[in-house]
Amino acid sequence: MTQVRKFRLGEVLVQQGLLSLHQLEQALAEQKRTGRKLGRVLSDMNLVTDQAIGLTIAEQLKLPFLDLARRELNPELVMRLPETLARRHRALVIGQQDDGLLVAFSDPMDTFAQDEVARALHSMVHPVVVTEKALMDVVDRIYQRREQAAGLAEEVAADLGPAVASLEMLAGTEDAPIVKLITSIFDTAVAQLVSDIHIEPQERQTFIRFRIDGVLHQHSAYDPKVSMALIQRLKLMSNLDISEKRLPQDGRFQTAINGSPIDIRISTLPTQYGESVVMRLLIQSNQKANLDALNMPPAILSRVKLALSAPSGLILVTGPTGSGKTTTLYAALAELNDSETKIITVEDPVEYRLPGLNQVQVYDKIDLTFSRVLRACLRQDPDVLLVGEMRDQETAEIGLRAAMTGHLVVSTLHTNDAAGAVLRLSDMGVPPYMAALGLRLVLAQRLVRVVCDSCRMPYEPAAHEHEWMAKELSTMQTEDGAPMQQASYFKGVGCNSCHQTGYRGRTGIYEMIEMTPEMTHAASQGDHVTFSEIAQKQFANYTLKRDAVRLVLAGRTTVAEAMRASTPI
């Protein structure tokens, strides 16, 4: 093992000018109070960055500092160190040398940790310095708490024995194996920014998959008996009927992971081998969207804000399921939410909770339907109404009447593009004059994956991608009127930050139409061809496809992703 010398981190940071004496005293007092390591305290207090602390430690110990995000790791090599030790000692096996293993430590001064790791690996250990956050991100991604989850699954199986889960077992305390197993799954999901958890029973195993940035990834597999207990416990948490396995059910519950409240929507579906469960995770701390943060083109953003300032009219946000429509609606409401405005939302389910709003959850089982709630809402003297979705003729007509009688109404609709909104309303049976007079603006949107900043590099697209871009660029011009050209393309090659996908996070692409007198006339006559032609001319420079090309030009996404996201459904 490489020998390391001790030094006082705080004093060195002060000498380097990264920390003042007063700040060091504050951090030392916090360290004494909490018992945490000084580096962690300094980072949590935002006094010194993790990167600066790591570089300082590496320099003082004459050890290499490594950016883990850019390091390609072999999962089999990493997992030679048991997960429990990796988490306890903040250690990660990152490479192999002739005389031992290269191991990343967030605290290489902890010689006891190095000894423990060396004994567990039966090998000489050569320490490398990394930041704790980067290390734990990789640990969460590669290990995914598999050891913990596997052990808990075995405990659940042992508790079950040959019998099915009892009600007492399902309603167990926090120490019960089934409860710990669910908590472990949620912990991993939150750490990996998962939007949905899928539990899918098959003949011999039940698979759990995570949806990250719109793409499903395999997480784990359990014995069907264990997964049955898991599903029953989730149904109990959601106040669903655990005895009913033949019919679909929907519910929700709230839990807290690492102190952050999380709303979880759950849907069950009977399949050939048991109940399939999908859970949508809504992290409350992430639900503070505002319009300026949605990456809309400035021309569209200004028109949307202008439409929101109007006293009446219907504003529709359209797009497929999972395209961020609800986030856009709540960003719009955040723009309007003040002490002078009465806002009522009618949703199924209520996804985001915002202070100052009057939010109503519809419940069809007791005849608390969209249409019934909307009628009641109009007697509550609202200024703004949010209708979760225009699902049927009655709901659409009530919303449009409200928009025509002095209320601002915002809602969603499922269409391929913005121009299709009027035709969709017509298909639902809404009279043409109502759509023409009530509708003010339609915003269509999709989500595209963003190239990972940590592994972003130039690349050469395939021939068909070049052809697609050339066709789009031929109709675009720069501000001075010159033809638009693409200098270079970028993609992510895959790293630890993006789970080797090359993408990290998603952003929106948008197109918009505003009702003009010509469009209103065409819509009122039911002339959808003329309406569509006028609409196409209006947003010629701001189509979904054009906005996707804008992101490619900015190096934020790939041609393949732009093509996928802007293709009609």
Quickly list DSSP for 73-142: --HHHHTTS-HHHHHHHTEEEEEEETTEEEEEES-TT-HHHHHHHHHHHTS-EEEEE--HHHHHHHHHHH
Q: 326: which 2 tokens?
A: 């609800």
Per-residue confidence at 170, pLDDT binned at 50, 70, 90? low
* Cα separation values, 401 from 146, 309, 397, 566, Å: 55, 19, 6, 33
Q: Distance between CA 177 and CA 233 in Å, rounded? A: 11
pLDDT score recorded for residue 551? 92
Per-residue confidence at 166, pLDDT binned at 50, 70, 90? low
pLDDT tens-digit series, residues 56-113: 888 888 888 888 877 777 778 888 888 888 888 889 998 888 888 999 998 888 888 8
* Mean pLDDT taken over the chain: 84
pLDDT score recorded for residue 164? 53
Stronger pLDDT, 317 or 84, i.e. the higher one: 317
Q: Look at residue 445 and tell me whether its pLDDT is greater than 90.
A: yes
* Residue found under tokens 């002078």: 340
Provide, rounded to the nearest whole percent, the portion of the chain with pLDDT above 70. Answer: 90
Q: Look at residue 372 and tell me whether its pLDDT is greater than 90.
A: no
Q: Distance between CA 443 and CA 514 in Å, rounded? A: 9
Q: What is the 3-state secondary structure (H, E, C) of 398-456?
A: HHHHHHHCCCEEEEEECCCCCCHHHHHHHHCCCCHHHHHHHEEEEEEEEEEEEECCCCE
pLDDT score recorded for residue 371? 82
Mean pLDDT for the stretch of residues 158-175? 56
pLDDT score recorded for residue 301? 93
Mean pLDDT for the stretch of residues 363-384? 84
* Residue found under tokens 């750490």: 191
- 3-state DSSP call for residue 369? coil
Nearest residue to 404 via CA among 436, 441, 370, 444: 436
pLDDT score recorded for residue 478? 60
Mean pLDDT for the stretch of residues 491-510? 85
- CB distance 509 to 544 below 8 Å: yes
Q: Look at residue 4 and tell me whether its pLDDT is greater than 70.
A: no
Nearest residue to 192 via CA among 291, 283, 95, 314: 283
Per-residue confidence at 506, pLDDT binned at 50, 70, 90? very high
pLDDT tens-digit series, residues 218-243: 888 888 888 888 888 899 889 899 88
pLDDT tens-digit series, residues 486-500: 768 999 988 777 877
Q: What is the 3-state secondary structure (H, E, C) of 8-53?
A: CHHHHHHHCCCCCHHHHHHHHHHHHHHCCCHHHHHHHCCCCCHHHH
Rg, the chain, Cα only = 28
- 3-state DSSP call for residue 378? helix
Q: 562: which 2 tokens?
A: 């732009």
Quote the strand ranges of 183-324, DSSP E.
Answer: 196-201, 206-212, 215-222, 249-257, 260-271, 274-283, 313-318
pLDDT score recorded for residue 411? 93
Per-residue confidence at 416, pLDDT binned at 50, 70, 90? confident
* Residue found under tokens 């009027």: 422
Nearest residue to 326 via CA among 305, 299, 306, 354: 354
Q: Look at residue 395 and tell me whether its pLDDT is greater than 70.
A: yes
Bridging pattern class, strands 489-492 and 358-361: unpaired
- 3-state DSSP call for residue 234? helix
Q: Distance between CA 116 and CA 358 in Å, rounded? A: 56
